[in-house]
């Protein structure tokens, strides 16, 4: 019995990763962020059809996230946080459904990703400001 179709499951996993990025990962990227990103990557692989170049890009990006956290490259941590990675998964999933610019060229993925990531990071900054005021 399938409760969710693969695309909805992937969209929900992307939204959960973004939520983790906004609420939990306010100031830094940690191992839990990289693990959440990897889990989302695995769900994505089972959910949509992507080109080989996009798959290799995702694989390299995921591995580089592990390396960045392991070697503590703090200047590039935001590139591997849950907000950024969740935005990428959301773009790929919705792109497979025909939204955004599509997902079959690396350029279209990167352009769509930047747009969505900027929106998600703006929401994250707004959340940080709002949560500070409530204290």
Q: Is residue 134 part of a domain?
A: no
CB 116 within 8 A of CB 99: no
Q: What is the pLDDT of residue 102?
A: 62
Residues counted in the chain: 135
Per-residue pLDDT tens for 105-123? 778 888 888 999 999 999 9
Q: Is residue 118 part of a domain?
A: yes
Q: Is residue 1 part of a domain?
A: no
Q: Is residue 91 part of a domain?
A: yes
Q: Is the pLDDT of residue 49 over 70?
A: yes
Q: At CA 41, angle to CA 33 and CA 76, rounded to 5?
A: 45
Task: Give me the domain span that covers residue 120.
Answer: 6-129
Q: What is the pLDDT of residue 77?
A: 77
Q: Is the pLDDT of residue 41 over 70?
A: yes
More confident residue, 122 or 129: 122
Q: Looking at the 3D structure of the chain, how many domains does it have?
A: 1
In Å, what is the CA distance from 26 to each residue of 3, 10, 33, 64, 98?
A: 32, 23, 11, 21, 32
């Amino acid at each position: 019995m399938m409760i969710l179709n693969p695309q909805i499951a992937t969209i929900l996993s992307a939204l959960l990763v973004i939520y983790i990025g906004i609420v939990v990962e306010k100031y830094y990227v940690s191992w839990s962020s990289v693990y959440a990103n990897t889990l989302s990557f695995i769900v994505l692989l089972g959910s949509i059809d992507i080109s080989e170049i996009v798959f290799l890009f995702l694989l390299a990006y995921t591995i580089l996230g592990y390396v960045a956290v392991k070697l503590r490259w703090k200047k590039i941590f935001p590139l591997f946080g849950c907000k950024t990675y969740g935005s990428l998964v959301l773009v790929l999933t919705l792109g497979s459904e025909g939204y955004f610019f599509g997902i079959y060229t690396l350029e279209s993925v990167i352009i769509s990703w930047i747009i969505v990531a900027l929106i998600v990071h703006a929401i994250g900054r707004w959340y940080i400001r709002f949560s500070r005021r409530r204290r």
